[in-house]
Amino acid sequence: MTGYPYRTLFVWIAILALIWLVLSSPWSTGWNAIFAVLVVFLALVAVVIATKRIRARREASHHVLSAIDRALSSLPADLKRNTPLVLAVGDHDSALADSFGSDLVRATDSAIWVRNNDPDRLMHLADALKRWRDGQGPDAVAYLLAADEATGSVTLQAELKRWRSAIGEACRAVGYPLPVCVALYVREIDGNPDECPWFGVSGAEPLQPGSLPALIATRLAWYTRVASPEIADERQSRAHRAARLDALARWASEAVLPALVDAQRGALPLQPVAFGVTAIEGRPAGDSLYGQFVAGITELPLPCAQGIAMSQASQVRTPLHCPLPDPLIRGIPPQPVRRALPRAFAHAFVWLAACFCAAAAASAWQNRALVERVVGDMASYKAIAPTQDAARIDALKAVKRDRDELERYARSGVPPRLGLGFYRGAPLLPPANDLIASYQPPPPPVSPSTIELDSMSLFRSGSAVLNPGSNRVLIGALDMIKVHADRRVLIAGHTDSIGNPASNLKLSEARAASVRNWLADASGIALTQFAIQGYGDTRPKTSNDTDAGRAANRRVEITLVPDCRDTRHVSLNSSDSNNSGSTNQGHPACS
C-alpha cells in the first residue's frame, strides 16, 4: 500500500526554507538563526503529527483491509480496480447488520461493499482503501436507513449531521468529493408474489431533493400499471406498496436529504447522486417518524391511505431483510485512479517554485536597498561643502566601503541573495571610483607672511646679542620657517628715534643678523636662504613721541618671500628714501 508522503513533503519544505534563509534572506544572522530553529521545530512537529495519524489510520483500517483480502482472495487480482468499491454506512444496526450479517465485506455483481458504522473511522477507512487500490479510492458512499427504525427527530438529525461531517472528512482524506447514495427501506406486512425492486435515480450529476418525489412517483405509477390485470391481489398489493414508497420518498426529501446536503462551514458539500427506496418484509412501526408522517398525510387517494393505515396496524417488529442497492450503484461512474506520487511531486514542485519566487523577491528587494545605499552615500558626499573636510572624509569612507563591496562582487561573483538576474551594482562601480579619485584635500592654512618680534624681549638696550631666554620668543618664527622651507626668509631690524641715526641703522642690522644666525642654527637651513636688512628708525610704525610708540617701533620683522632662484645680486629697494645707507647680505629674495 502506498499513501501520500506527507512526512517527506514536510522535510522538503523545511529544506527549502533553510536554503532560503542561508542564501537569500535579507535579515541579519541572528534573525536567520532564530527562524531556522523555528523551521526545524515546526518540521519535527509536523512529522510527529503525520506519524501519529498514519498509525491511527492503520489501526482503524487494518481489520477491514484484512477482511477484504480474505473475501477477495479467490477472485482475480485486478478485481479490486475493475469493480466499484462502495462504503456502506449507517447508524441503525438493523439495516447494516441484515445486509452484511457478521461480515465486514460483501462482493456482489455490481460492487464490493465495505461496511462501516463508526463515523470517526470513515476518514481513515476511505484513505486506507485508496492506498489499498493503488490510488483509486472508493467510488461511492451508500447511506442505508431503515425508515421504521427512526423514532426521534432530534436523534435522527444528530445522526445525519454526524455522517455528513464524517463523509466530508473522508472526502478531504481521499482528495475528491465522494458520490453519495441514499437508500431507504420501509417494512410491509402484506404478502407479495414478487420481490420489491428499487425505485430511484442515479447518475453523475448531483440530485435536487425537491424533485425526487415526482420522479419516484412516475416510476411507481409505471410499476402499478405493469401488474397482471388478471390477478387482482397483485394489483392491490402493488398499489399499496406504491403508496408506501411514494410517502417514503416524500418523507426522505423533507427529513433526510436536506440534513445530508446542507454543508457545514468550511466543509465540502456532499454530492447525492443516487437515491432510492424499496420495501422489505416486516411489520411497520407506527411510532416511527415515517409512520407519523404517513399518518398526517391527507392528500393521498383514499384507497392508498387506507392501505397504508392497514399496514401500520401492527407494532410488532420483525427482523429485516435489507438488500444492498446494487441497481443504484450501476448508475454512478467509477472514480479515476489518483496516484499519490505524481500529486506529491506536483506539490513539491509548487513549493520549489514558491521558494524560488521568494528568493527572487528577496533578491530584488536587497538590490534595491544596495542601489539606494550606494547612491545615497555618493549624494551625501557631494552635498558636503569642500570647506568641511572632516565631514567629507567620513562620507568618503562610506563611499570607499561601497566601492570595495562592489569590487568584491565583480571579482568574486555576485552572491545568491543579490543574484537571480536582479543585480544592479555593476553600473555604480565607475561613478564610485571617479568620485573617490576626484577628492582633493583643502590647501593648507595660509600662514602669516610676516612675524613681528619685540626687540626688547630679544636684546638689551643698545645691544645686538640675544638674551638667554629669547629662544622662547623665536620658536614661533622657527615653526613657520620649517613649514615653508621652500621660501626665502627676510629679517629686518627697526629701532626708535632715540640716539644717532647711523648708530641705530647699524644696531638694527646687527640685531637682524643675530636673529638670522639663531634661526639658521636651529632650523638647519642654509644661510643662503636668509636675507637681512637694517632700517634703523626710518620706518616707524607709530609716533616716537611717547614711550609706547617708541616701544612699538623697536622690533624685528621676519617675512617669507617666494624664491626666484636667481643668483644675481640685486639690492632690496625700499620706498623709504632714508634707506640709502642699508645693505643686503646673502642672496636676494624677490622684491
Give whole-number Cα distances, 18 to 32, 42, 43, 347, 421, in Å. 9, 12, 11, 18, 22
In this predicted structure, the answer to whether residue 208 has a pLDDT above a threshold of 90 is no
Q: Which of 172, 164, 171 is nearest to 143 (CA)?
A: 164
The answer on 306 and 224 residing in a single domain is yes
**Does the residue 187 lie in any domain?**
yes
In this predicted structure, the answer to whether residue 577 has a pLDDT above a threshold of 60 is no
Comparing 568 with 64, the larger pLDDT belongs to 64
Comparing 411 with 582, the larger pLDDT belongs to 411
The answer on 496 and 462 residing in a single domain is yes
The answer on 532 and 389 residing in a single domain is no
The answer on 383 and 426 residing in a single domain is yes
pLDDT tens-digit series, residues 544-575: 888 888 888 889 998 888 766 544 333 333 33
SS3 at position 144: strand
Q: Considering 393, 412, 437, which residue would you say is the last residue of a domain?
A: 437
The answer on 254 and 105 residing in a single domain is yes
The answer on 307 and 432 residing in a single domain is no
pLDDT tens-digit series, residues 14-45: 999 999 999 999 999 999 999 999 999 999 99
Res 300: pLDDT:
45
Structural domain that includes position 61: 1-71
Which helix (H) or strand (E) segment holds residue 87: the answer is strand 85-89
Sequential DSSP letters for 528-588: GGEEEEEEETSS-SS-TTSHHHHHHHSEEEEEEE------S------S-GGGTT---BSSP
Which helix (H) or strand (E) segment holds residue 272: the answer is strand 271-281
| H helix runs in 301-388, sequence order | 302-311, 326-330, 340-383
What CATH number should be reported for the domain holding residue 518? 3.30.1330.60
The answer on 423 and 357 residing in a single domain is yes
**Does the residue 589 lie in any domain?**
no
pTM equals 0.59
Q: Considering 49, 71, 93, which residue would you say is the last residue of a domain?
A: 71
Phi/psi of residue 233, nearest 5 degrees: -65, -40
The answer on 511 and 426 residing in a single domain is no
Which helix (H) or strand (E) segment holds residue 116: the answer is strand 112-116
Identity of residue 239? A
CA distance 65 to 85: 13
The answer on 140 and 66 residing in a single domain is no
Count of the separate structural domains present in the chain:
4
Mean pLDDT of 464-489: 83
**Does the residue 445 lie in any domain?**
no
Choose the weakest-confidence range: 67-76, 200-209, 422-431, 519-528: 67-76
The answer on 561 and 482 residing in a single domain is yes
In this predicted structure, the answer to whether residue 306 has a pLDDT above a threshold of 50 is no
Length of the chain: 591
Q: Considering 300, 333, 366, which residue would you say is the last residue of a domain?
A: 333
In this predicted structure, the answer to whether residue 118 has a pLDDT above a threshold of 60 is yes
> Binning pLDDT at 50, 70 and 90, where does residue 283 land?
confident
**Does the residue 473 lie in any domain?**
yes
The answer on 321 and 384 residing in a single domain is no
**Does the residue 585 lie in any domain?**
no
